[in-house]
C-alpha cells in the first residue's frame, strides 16, 4: 500500500518541474532520452523568460541528437561548433559514451580528438579531507592507468588505479597516513605525463581548536552567465565547500542519459574544475538531482526502481567520506570532523515517506541520534537539503514543516541529551537566509540557508514566518554563505557572511558558543 502514494508524489513532481531552472538544454536532453527529437528541437527553439540557451549548449545538444540518429558527420560538425562557441571538448569525451558512438566513428573525429589530447576528462576533485587522510576523484578518457601523486616538502605518496566502465571511468583514490595541518600538492599523471594539478591542506586533529571556513550553497543549475560563481568562491579560499542539494538540475531519474549529460556538463566547466581541485568538496542531493520536484519516493530501497541507479550515479560523481549505509542501506548521509567541528549531513529524499511520517527513515534516524549523542565536536553542524525553520516555504510540506513530529523528535533529543553547540544548515530556497528557531526548553537554534549559487530563478524573502524569526535574507543576485568557525579564539564563535557572485559582502552575523549552550542545573 505504501508504494502507491510514493509513486503518486513522484509523478506529480514530474509535471510541476518540466521547466524548473529555465534550462532549455536540459529540457531538450530529457526529450532526447525518450527518443522525441522533434520535441527536443522545439525546446531548443523556445525563448524562456530567463537564461536563453547559448550557442555552445545548443550545438552540444544537436550533436547528441545527430549521433543518436546515427548521423556521425552532423554530430561531428555540431560538436566542433560547440567547442568553437566555448564548450569544453571533454564533454564529448565523457559522453554519454554509448550515445556518442556515431560521433566517435565519424571520419575526422580521431584527428580532432588527438589535437585536443584529453586524457583526463574531469577532476581532480578533492574530498573527505581529515587530519590524516584525503580522497582524490577523477574521470579519465578510457580504461587506462592513472597515477595520482601527493607531494609535501618532505615526501611523496603515489597511487595508481585503472578506471573502468562499471564506475563510469571514475576512480576515487584514498590517501592515508597524512600529516595534520599540512599542505599537499596533487599531480595527476597518465602515461608518465602530467595532465592536471591540485592542492589541499589537511585539518588539525579533532581534539585541537582551530579556525575553519566553509562555503555553503545549493541551487546550482547550469546557467552559463553565472558559472563564474565557482571562481568567486575559489577567491574566498574556503577550507571546504558544502553543496546541500540541487547541485545540478536533472529532474529525470528514469533516464541515465539525462543524468550523465547534466553531470558531465558541469564537471567540464573550467571554473568548476579549478575550484574543486583546490577545495575539499562535500555534497548531498535534493529533489532536482535525485528525483523530481518535491518528490516523495517512499520508504523502500528499490522502489521506485530508479532509486538505486540514481544513487550509484551520485556516488560515481563525488568524493564524500561515505554514502549512507552503503549497498545495504543506500543514501547520501554522512558525518565528518573538520578539526573540532563535527558535520552531520542528512539524506532527506531517499527514504522520504508521507505515510510513515518520516523524511529520513528509521535506519538513518537511528544513525543520526547515535552520532549526535557521541559527538565530540565543539560545534555540531546539522545539515539538511531542505529548511528546518517553520514557515519559510509558505503552504508547502516539502520542508521539515511536512514532518513536524520528526523535526521535534530530533530537536527534543538534542535538548534531552543537553547537546551543546548545534547549528543548522540547509538549502532549497533560492536565496540566502539567517533565521532563529525559538526553543522554550533549550537554546535557540540558528539556521543558515543558502541555495542560489547559480540559479536564475529566485524565491522571495519570508520575513513573517510563524514559528521562526527572520534575521536577514538576500536574494537580489546569486550568492552564498561563508561560515567561519573559530574555536581557537578566547570566545569560540561562528561568523557568517553573505557574499554575492561579484564577491561583495552584504551582511555579517556572529553567534558565540555561549549562545548555543543548555542551562546547567
Domain ranges of the chain: 3-116, 120-201, 211-516
Average pLDDT over residues 423-435: 98
With cut-offs at 50, 70 and 90, classify the pLDDT of residue 46.
confident
With cut-offs at 50, 70 and 90, classify the pLDDT of residue 412.
very high
With cut-offs at 50, 70 and 90, classify the pLDDT of residue 383.
very high
The region, left, alpha or beta by phi > 0 then psi within -120 to 50, assigned to residue 177 is left
- Please, is 208 exposed, middle or buried when counting C-beta atoms within 10 Å of its C-beta (0-12, 13-18, 19+)? middle
Name the helix (H) or strand (E) containing 121.
strand 120-127
Q: What is the dihedral of CA 300, 359, 366, 128, to 10 degrees?
A: 90
- Whole-number Å distance between alpha carbons of 450 and 428: 8
Mention every residue, 6+ apart, whose C-beta is less than 8 A from residue 284: 243, 244, 245, 332, 333, 345, 346, 347, 383, 385
- Please, is 352 exposed, middle or buried when counting C-beta atoms within 10 Å of its C-beta (0-12, 13-18, 19+)? buried
CATH 2.60.40.380 fits 120-201, yes or no: yes
Give pairs for 326-331: CB < 8 Å, separation 24+.
Answer: 329/301, 329/363, 329/364, 330/301, 331/364
pLDDT of residue 53: 82
- Please, is 369 exposed, middle or buried when counting C-beta atoms within 10 Å of its C-beta (0-12, 13-18, 19+)? middle
- pLDDT(1) > 60: no
- Cell 595508481, residue? 160
pLDDT of residue 520: 55
- Per-chain mean pLDDT for the chain: 94
- Cell 567547442, residue? 83
- pLDDT, tens only, 455-484: 999 999 999 999 999 999 999 999 999 999
- pLDDT(50) > 60: yes
Average pLDDT over residues 402-428: 98
CATH topology of domain 211-516: Purple Acid Phosphatase; chain A, domain 2 (3.60.21)
Residue 12 DSSP SS3: helix
447 close to 12: Cβ distance less than 8 angstroms: no
Query: What is the helix, strand, coil percentage profile of the chain, to 5?
Result: 30, 25, 45
Three-state SS string across 31-71, please? HHHCCCHHHHHHHHHCCCCCCCCCHHHHHHHHHHHHHHCCC
pLDDT of residue 7: 45
pLDDT of residue 17: 43
pTM attached to this predicted model: 0.96
Q: What percent of the chain has pLDDT over 90?
A: 92
Looking at 117-255, list the stretches that DSSP marks H as alpha helix, in order from N- to C-terminal side.
229-235
Q: Indicate the pairing of strand 469-474 with strand 334-338.
A: unpaired
Of the chain, the end-to-end C-alpha distance in Å amounts to 48
- pLDDT(141) > 50: yes
pLDDT of residue 19: 47
With cut-offs at 50, 70 and 90, classify the pLDDT of residue 298.
very high
pLDDT of residue 20: 58
Q: What is the dihedral of CA 399, 315, 16, 224, to 10 degrees?
A: 110
Q: Which of 3-12, 137-146, 182-191, 292-301 has the lowest mean pLDDT?
A: 3-12
pLDDT of residue 3: 36
With cut-offs at 50, 70 and 90, classify the pLDDT of residue 9.
low
- pLDDT(521) > 70: no
Average pLDDT over residues 412-426: 98
Average pLDDT over residues 386-406: 97
pLDDT of residue 347: 98
pLDDT of residue 393: 96
DSSP E strands in 155-261: the ranges are 156-161, 170-175, 183-190, 193-201, 211-217, 240-243
- pLDDT(39) > 70: yes
With cut-offs at 50, 70 and 90, classify the pLDDT of residue 153.
confident
Which set of grid coordinates corresponds to residue 229? 560563481
CA distances to 105, 350, 408, 496 from 333, rounded to whole Å, are 41, 10, 20, 24
- Whole-number Å distance between alpha carbons of 60 and 80: 9
- pLDDT, tens only, 326-370: 999 999 999 999 999 999 999 999 999 999 999 999 999 999 999
With cut-offs at 50, 70 and 90, classify the pLDDT of residue 154.
confident
- Cell 573527505, residue? 128
Mention every residue, 6+ apart, whose C-beta is less than 8 A from residue 328: none
Amino acid at each position: 500500500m505504501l508504494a502507491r502514494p510514493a509513486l503518486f508524489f513522484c509523478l506529480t513532481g514530474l509535471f510541476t518541474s518540466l521547466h524548473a531552472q529555465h534550462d532549455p538544454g536540459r529540457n531538450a536532453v530529457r526529450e532526447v532520452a525518450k527518443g522525441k527529437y522533434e520535441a527536443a528541437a522545439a525546446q531548443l527553439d523556445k525563448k524562456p523568460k530567463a537564461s536563453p540557451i547559448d550557442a555552445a549548449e545548443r550545438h552540444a545538444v544537436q550533436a547528441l541528437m545527430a549521433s543518436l540518429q546515427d548521423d556521425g558527420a552532423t554530430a561531428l560538425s555540431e560538436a566542433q561548433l560547440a567547442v568553437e562557441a566555448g564548450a569544453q571538448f571533454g564533454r564529448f569525451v565523457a559522453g554519454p559514451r554509448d550515445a556518442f558512438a556515431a560521433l566517435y566513428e565519424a571520419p575526422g573525429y580521431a584527428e580532432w580528438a588527438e589535437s585536443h589530447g584529453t586524457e583526463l576528462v574531469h577532476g581532480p576533485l578533492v574530498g573527505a579531507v581529515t587530519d590524516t587522510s584525503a580522497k582524490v576523484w577523477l574521470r579519465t578518457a578510457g580504461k587506462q592507468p592513472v597515477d595520482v601523486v601527493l607531494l609535501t616538502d618532505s615526501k611523496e605518496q603515489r597511487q595508481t588505479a585503472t578506471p573502468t566502465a562499471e564506475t563510469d571511468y571514475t576512480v576515487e583514490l584514498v590517501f592515508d597516513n597524512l600529516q595534520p595541518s599540512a599542505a599537499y600538492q596533487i599531480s595527476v599523471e597518465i602515461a608518465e605525463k602530467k595532465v592536471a594539478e591540485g592542492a589541499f591542506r589537511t585539518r588539525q586533529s579533532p581534539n585541537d581548536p582551530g579556525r575553519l571556513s566553509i562555503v555553503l550553497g545549493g541551487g546550482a543549475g547550469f546557467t552559463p552567465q553565472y558559472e563564474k560563481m565557482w571562481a568567486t568562491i575559489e577567491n574566498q579560499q574556503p577550507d571546504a565547500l558544502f553543496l546541500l542539494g540541487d547541485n545540478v538540475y536533472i529532474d529525470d531519474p528514469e533516464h541515465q542519459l539525462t543524468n550523465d549529460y547534466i553531470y558531465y556538463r558541469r564537471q567540464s566547466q573550467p571554473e568548476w574544475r579549478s575550484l574543486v581541485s583546490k577545495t575539499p568538496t562535500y555534497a548531498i542531493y535534493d529533489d532536482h538531482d535525485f528525483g523530481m520536484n518535491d518528490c516523495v519516493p517512499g520508504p523502500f530501497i528499490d522502489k521506485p526502481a530508479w532509486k538505486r541507479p540514481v544513487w550509484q550515479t551520485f556516488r560515481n560523481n563525488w568524493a564524500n567520506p561515505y554514502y549512507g549505509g552503503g549497498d545495504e542501506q543506500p543514501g547520501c548521509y554522512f558525518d565528518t570532523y573538520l578539526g573540532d567541528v563535527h558535520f552531520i549531513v542528512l539524506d532527506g529524499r531517499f527514504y522520504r515517506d508521507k505515510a510513515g511520517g518520516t523524511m529520513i527513515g528509521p535506519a538513518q534516524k537511528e544513525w543520526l541520534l547515535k552520532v549526535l549523542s557521541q559527538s565530540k565536536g565543539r560545534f555540531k553542524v546539522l545539515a539538511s537539503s531542505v529548511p528546518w525553520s517553520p514557515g519559510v516555504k509558505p503552504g508547502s510540506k516539502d520542508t521539515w514543516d511536512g514532518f513536524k513530529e520528526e523535526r521535534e523528535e530530533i530537536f527534543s533529543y538534542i535538548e534531552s541529551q543537553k547537546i551543546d553547540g548545534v547549528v543548522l544548515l540547509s538549502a532549497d530556497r533560492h536565496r540566502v537566509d539567517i533565521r532563529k528557531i525559538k526553543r522554550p526548553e533549550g537554546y535557540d537554534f540558528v539556521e543558515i540557508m543558502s541555495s542560489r549559487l547559480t540559479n536564475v530563478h529566485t524565491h522571495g524573502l519570508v520575513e513573517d514566518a510563524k514559528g521562526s524569526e527572520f534575521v536577514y535574507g538576500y536574494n537580489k543576485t546569486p550568492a552564498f554563505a561563508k561560515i567561519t568557525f573559530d574555536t581557537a579564539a578566547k570566545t569560540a564563535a561562528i561568523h557568517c557572511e553573505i557574499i554575492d557572485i561579484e564577491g561583495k559582502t552584504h551582511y555579517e552575523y556572529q553567534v558565540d558558543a555561549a549562545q548555543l549552550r543548555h542551562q546547567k542545573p
